[in-house]
Amino acid sequence: MGTLGGGRFTQGNDSTFNSFTGNLTMTGGTFTINQKRALVAASSGTTTWDISGGTFAYTHSDGTKNGTFRFGTAWKNNTPTWTGDYTATLNLSNNASFSADRFILGFSNYGVADKTLTANMNMSDTASVTLGASAGNEHSNIGYGVGVTASLTMEGKSTLTAAGTLYIGGDGSTGSLAMSGNSQATLEDQLYVGNSTTSKGTITLIDSAKLTVSSSVGVGNGELSFGNTGECATYAEMNTLNLGSVAGANSTMNVAGGTVTGTDMHIGNAGTGTVTVSAGTVTFSNHLYTGHYSTGTLNIEGGNVSGTDFSIGHYAGANGTMSLTGGAVTGRDMYIGNAGTGTATISAGTVRFTNNLYTGRTGTGTLNIEGGDVQGAYFCIGHTDGASGTVNVTGGTLDVTINLRVGLGGKGTMTVSGGATSVTTVNLFLPDNGSSLKFVMDDNRFTPITVSGTTTLDGTLTADFGGGLQFAKNESLTLIENASGDAGGLTDSDYFTVSQDGNNIFAKVRTDLLPDDRSNRGVAEISADNNGFTFYTGLWEDPDLLDMFVTWLNDANKNLNAQAVELGGVLVQVPTNSFYALWDFSEFNTATGANVVFSQTPIVPEPASWMLLLLGLCALRRKLAKTRTVSVGL
What pTM, to 2 d.p., does this model score?
A: 0.81
For the segment 64-80, the average pLDDT, to the nearest whole number, is: 71
317 or 43: which leads in pLDDT: 317
- If pLDDT is split at 50, 70 and 90, which confidence band does 212 have? very high
260 has a pLDDT exceeding 80: yes
* Backbone dihedral angles phi then psi of residue 489, each to the nearest 5 degrees: -100, 25
pLDDT at 32: 86
Spatial distance between the Cα atoms of 292 and 346, rounded to a whole number of angstroms: 21
Spatial distance between the Cα atoms of 291 and 304, rounded to a whole number of angstroms: 20
1 or 382: which leads in pLDDT: 382
Q: State the burial class of residue 164 (Cβ atoms within 10 Å of its Cβ: 0-12, 13-18, 19+).
A: buried
Lowest mean pLDDT across 151-165, 240-254, 402-416, 492-506: 492-506
Contact partners, residue 591, CB within 8 Å, separation at least 6 = none
pLDDT at 20: 77
* Backbone dihedral angles phi then psi of residue 467, each to the nearest 5 degrees: 145, 175
Go through 334-367 and write b for each residue having 16 or more CB atoms within 10 A of its CB, e for each that does not: bbbbbbbbbbbbbbbbbbebeebbbbbbbbbbbb
- If pLDDT is split at 50, 70 and 90, which confidence band does 632 have? very low
CB 342 within 8 A of CB 381: no
313 has a pLDDT exceeding 60: yes
165 has a pLDDT exceeding 50: yes
The candidate with the shortest Cα–Cα distance to 454, out of 489, 402, 412, 382, is: 402
For the segment 458-472, the average pLDDT, to the nearest whole number, is: 68
Lowest mean pLDDT across 109-113, 255-259, 398-402, 533-537: 533-537
Amino acid at 517: D
Q: State the burial class of residue 144 (Cβ atoms within 10 Å of its Cβ: 0-12, 13-18, 19+).
A: buried
Lowest mean pLDDT across 179-183, 382-386, 443-447, 622-626: 622-626
CB 226 within 8 A of CB 250: no
Sign of CA dihedral 621, 627, 633, 634: positive
Spatial distance between the Cα atoms of 630 and 624, rounded to a whole number of angstroms: 14
130 or 442: which leads in pLDDT: 130
Spatial distance between the Cα atoms of 72 and 144, rounded to a whole number of angstroms: 10
According to DSSP, residue 222 is labeled: E
pLDDT at 161: 96
The candidate with the shortest Cα–Cα distance to 104, out of 116, 90, 124, is: 90
According to DSSP, residue 61 is labeled: B
- If pLDDT is split at 50, 70 and 90, which confidence band does 483 have? confident
pLDDT at 527: 38
Spatial distance between the Cα atoms of 311 and 512, rounded to a whole number of angstroms: 48
Spatial distance between the Cα atoms of 181 and 233, rounded to a whole number of angstroms: 10
What DSSP assignment string belongs to 458-493? -SEEEEEE-SSPPP-TT-EEEEEES-BS-BTTB---
287 has a pLDDT exceeding 60: yes
For the segment 246-262, the average pLDDT, to the nearest whole number, is: 94
Spatial distance between the Cα atoms of 550 and 506, rounded to a whole number of angstroms: 38
Spatial distance between the Cα atoms of 514 and 134, rounded to a whole number of angstroms: 89
For the segment 126-151, the average pLDDT, to the nearest whole number, is: 86
pLDDT at 544: 66
Q: What is the mean pLDDT of the chain?
A: 79
The candidate with the shortest Cα–Cα distance to 169, out of 189, 185, 146, 139, is: 146
pLDDT in tens, 78-94: 566 677 788 999 999 99
pLDDT at 43: 74
Spatial distance between the Cα atoms of 369 and 457, rounded to a whole number of angstroms: 23
